[in-house]
Structure 1
Amino acid sequence: MYNILTAAGAALAVLLILLFGFKLAWWGSILISLGVFAAVFVLFSRITMKKVMAAIETAGKDLQAQRFEKAIRELKEVLHYGKWQVYVGPQINSQIGMIYYMKRDFSNAFPHLEKSFFKNWVAMAMLAICYMKRQKKDKMIDTFDKAVQWNSKEPLLWNIYAYCLVETGEPTKAREILEKGLKKASDNASLLENLENLKQGKKMKMRSFGDMWFQFHLESISAIQKHQMASMGGRMQHRRTVRK
């Protein structure tokens, strides 16, 4: 926001100087002012995004090292840049909300996810699930609708949407969502399989998505723990194989 205002202020100042100081023609003054606006906006945007991306990169390294609280602090330190650059605030809030959510700290995750970036489908899906758990089905559906509108190629998103509809007693709508997903995400095997499962009155199968699915915490804690143990066992086996 501030970057736009700064660029506009610089452009207006140049326009007034050219019109009244140099008596330049109005069309020429406007063209030069527009160039100044673009140049100043790009410059300030690059400065802002450089600082934001540095914080995101550092936070990413902390996440890999399981330093969740440190990652959250680093991201919160650049939240104020949301006032300077469009969409920075929603993107940072998405990251913070996702970290809290994955830690199962849903109360702290929720306010950040509410401000999340609409193109971040993982954050949007987490927000929709929060609404579901708060018994706000209408808001859950609205959030999922917005998410699939901007991320229609993501098969897991369509599957999660359908899964949550089943959880809220809407199996018919769940089938309709999977059918819509097939038109957008191409004949994805998981969508076809789960659509057939629902038609036969069976449960949806989601575990084939692995970590991407389990991060949404829609499985029981015991199931998530079993998956984590299996993943750790697989990594340890891989390491032994490499050493040999």
Structure 2
Amino acid sequence: MYNILISAASGAVLFLLLFAVKLPWWAALLVGLVVFTALFVGISRVIMKKVMASIETAGKDLQAQPPRFEKAVRELKDALQYGKWQVYVEGQINSQIGMIYYMKRDFSNAFPYLEKSFFKNWAAMGMLAICYMKRQKKDKMISTFDKAVQWNVKEPLLWGLYAYCLNECGDVSKAKEVLGKGLKKLPGDATLADNLACLEQGKKMKMRNYGDMWFQFHLESLGALQKHQMAAMGGRMQRRMVARR
């Protein structure tokens, strides 16, 4: 990455120059490290400021009525240029692009971006795992979920989503095992405990308790999603009416 190369080269050159003028090696090294750190932090801040500006602009496009999906994607694709400068930037932007396509149900375009997702973006990793499931690649699905929960242990929906997909693949025992692991990381989580009880009783998991976060993964039928959206819209209208009284 350019940031590391520029910072390291600057620090190394300064170290050699100071050492050449008879400065003790430890002092020259200390100055070189200070310069490396200062440059690395400074460049990182500039790059991340530009990346965040692109993400915020894309977010505003998505919140518009109607949402400007293509414009948001173009904004994020332009920001991919900063991936050469800073570690993990490319993965974070690819995660955002993949999620936009996925939520549009454009799964074919979403997949290549989700494949390059940042591992700490649990929602993008979950969507990638679902893509593998739909492509009949269970091993890839499991390895993706395993990596996601390793870095996002405090996300209850991720544990539930992992178990749900395993259950859909017919692996009920593994699904119960995953819910059990989730409860160890999140003791007292009522939804995880309820879903574990459902599987033990041979019933379907209750994922709708997660609300909009669950429906973004498109594992429900379009009819169920529309009903959820209508119910949410009705609730908002009722709250507005109450507020006006």
Structure 2 length as normaliser, TM-score? 0.97
Which residue identity does 1:45 align to in structure 2? S
- Cα distance in 1 for partners of 2:181, 2:188 equals 11
Which residue identity does 2:46 align to in structure 1? I
Matched, 1:163 2:170: no
Q: Tell me, what secondary structure is at the counterpart of 2:136? A: coil
2:52 is matched with 53
Question: 1:157-177 CA distances to partner (integer Å, 9 max, x unpaired)?
Answer: 111111100111101111111
Question: 1:134-149 counterparts in 2 under 5 A?
Answer: 134-149=135-150
- Cα distance in 1 for partners of 2:94, 2:164 equals 25
- Give the superposition deviation at 1:62: 1.3
1:10 is matched with 10
- Cα distance in 2 for partners of 1:116, 1:4 equals 22
- Cα distance in 1 for partners of 2:149, 2:164 equals 14
- Give the superposition deviation at 1:97: 0.7
2:68 is matched with 67
- Give the superposition deviation at 1:23: 2.1
- Cα distance in 2 for partners of 1:162, 1:62 equals 33
Q: What residue ranges of structure 2 are gaps of 5+ in the alignment?
A: none
Matched, 1:114 2:119: no
Task: Give the stretch that moved more between structures: 140-149 or 10-19.
Answer: 10-19
- Give the superposition deviation at 1:243: 2.3
- Cα distance in 1 for partners of 2:76, 2:244 equals 38
Q: What residue ranges of structure 1 are gaps of 5+ in the alignment?
A: none
Identity %: 71
Q: Tell me, what secondary structure is at the counterpart of 1:78? A: helix
RMSD: 0.9
- Cα distance in 2 for partners of 1:134, 1:17 equals 57
Q: What is the count of residue pairs matched by the alignment? A: 243
Q: Tell me, what secondary structure is at the counterpart of 1:149? A: helix
- Cα distance in 1 for partners of 2:86, 2:170 equals 41
- Give the superposition deviation at 1:234: 1.4
2:209 is matched with 208
Question: 1:105-164 CA distances to partner (integer Å, 9 max, x unpaired)?
Answer: 101111111111111111110000000000000000000011111111111111111110
- Give the superposition deviation at 1:241: 2.1
1:181 is matched with 182
Task: Give the stretch that moved more between structures: 127-136 or 221-230.
Answer: 221-230
1:23 is matched with 22
Structure 1 length as normaliser, TM-score? 0.97
- Cα distance in 2 for partners of 1:27, 1:208 equals 60
- Cα distance in 2 for partners of 1:70, 1:194 equals 39
- Cα distance in 1 for partners of 2:147, 2:78 equals 29
